Amino acid sequence: MTTRTTTPRQDGFRMPGEFEPHAGCWMLWPCRSDNWRLGGKPAQQAFVEVAKAIAAFEPVTIGVSRSQYQNARYRVPDHIRVVELSSNDAWMRDVGPTFVTNDKDEIRGVDWQFNAWGGLKGGIYFPWDQDDLVAQKVIEIEKTDRYKAPFVLEGGAIHVDGQGTLITTEECLLNANRNPHLFKAQIEQYLKDYLNVEMIIWLGRGVYHDETDGHVDNLCCFIRPGSVALTWTDDTNDPQYKISVDAYERLQSATDARGRRLKVHKVHQPGPLYMSETESQGVDQIEGTLPRRSGDRLAASYVNFYIANGGVVMPFFDDPQDEVARSRLQALFPDRTVVGVPSREIVLGGGNIHCITQQMPKV
Ligand code: KQY
């Protein structure tokens, strides 16, 4: 594996949109008992269901820490590849590489700095040393060259249209717990250099009570160039309401890198949903790890879906809005099959299907 000293932009590489063809999908295996209840067993089952749903559309690989290898290999169907790969938790979107491609059918991986969503200033757990090595290991296994980005970024903090436009949130990328030494203009320049984008659309805050400091992948995403889905509520008393209205207004007034106005599609949120006493009691309480408290509002959103080759795998919450949201997404993705997978066990850990997956583009 060669680590390049140039940037993807200098070398003519760009991050494709998630809706472009994939070679496959990478995931990790959940097992830490201070994040997942009951030693991670219900979450493991949910991750297996997500992997099976995605594997119906494209190859899936799951990275598993040494002590869980046999358990994972037993629980995961044979057609899904399982490889030993240490991590501190299971959020491949955030700790994995962001792949970039060029027009000569070449692919390389960008390895961001990772600090567990805020390091010692509000991060979710300590240490995160194994998470920080995941991107490099995936790049090595996939036999691509690597760019080592000189700043903190999680994959869930960005979405791109593959045509020069990126959306993100101020709450996350301008947070002092990510890159306190960088001004907004410097962060924009790094995004342009490492993802080869021209236009950055800044939204304000992410989903209410999202522990990532407002990752955009739980709030809003590209369906295709020129078209985005935004999590929504009509309940003016819900704290999410103002956040979604603000995002809607910013998106409506934005133009993308090609000068288009965006079409904004609202997708009504589930719930609101909260962590139960039983669920909270199932999680080990460890000093230094974000506590999981009974009554905590869950950052549940249908926008946290994964776009696969010919399919979309979306979260279901056993909520009356599930089928409404699925029909809505099916109408927005007429050429793909939209599949719902029960994901309450994943949102209890602080994220959802998009957060636990990372696509590798096809070249
Ligand atoms: O939003 C994401 N991409 C990840 C969520 C991580 C939650 C950590 N507990």
In this predicted model, what pLDDT tens digit does every residue of 17-26 receive, in sequence order?
A: 999 999 999 9
The pLDDT of residue 40: 97
Nearest residue CA, atom 2 of ligand 1?
355
The pLDDT of residue 140: 98
In this predicted model, what pLDDT tens digit does every residue of 163-172 receive, in sequence order?
A: 999 999 999 9
Q: Decide whether any atom of ligand 1 lies within 6 Å of the 179 Cβ.
A: no
Determine the Cα angle at 274 with ends 228 and 341, to 5°.
Answer: 55
Q: Is 63:83 a contact under the CB 8 Å cutoff? A: yes
Residues 31-59: what's their mean pLDDT? 98
Burial class (CB in 10 A: 0-12, 13-18, 19+), 123: buried
The pLDDT of residue 33: 97
In this predicted model, what pLDDT tens digit does every residue of 176-194 receive, in sequence order?
A: 999 999 999 999 999 999 9
For residues 280, 281, 287, 290, the Cα torsion angle rounded to the nearest 10 degrees is -10
For a pocket test of ligand 1, which of 215, 286, 353, 356 has the largest count of ligand atoms closer than 8 A to its C-beta? 215
Averaged pLDDT of the chain: 97
For the chain, give the percent of residues with pLDDT over 70. Answer: 100
Residues 198-225: what's their mean pLDDT? 98
Domain with 170 in it: 3-361
The pLDDT of residue 15: 98
Tokens of 349: 């850990």
Decide: pTM greater than 0.85.
Answer: yes
Tokens of 19: 């809706």
Radius of gyration of the chain (CA): 19
In this predicted model, what pLDDT tens digit does every residue of 109-140 receive, in sequence order?
A: 999 999 999 999 889 999 999 999 999 999 99
Residues 325-346: what's their mean pLDDT? 98
Q: What are phi and psi of 31, to 5 degrees?
A: -155, -5
The pLDDT of residue 260: 97
Q: Decide whether any atom of ligand 1 lies within 6 Å of the 192 Cβ.
A: no
Q: How far is CA 352 from the centre of its chain?
A: 8
The pLDDT of residue 6: 98
- Helix or strand holding residue 338 (H, E): strand 337-342
**The total number of structural domains that make up the chain:** 1
In this predicted model, what pLDDT tens digit does every residue of 226-237 receive, in sequence order?
A: 999 999 999 999
Q: Are strands 358-361 and 22-28 parallel, antiparallel or unpaired?
A: antiparallel
Nearest residue CA, atom 4 of ligand 1?
355
Q: Can you give the CATH number for the domain in which 54 is found?
A: 3.75.10.10
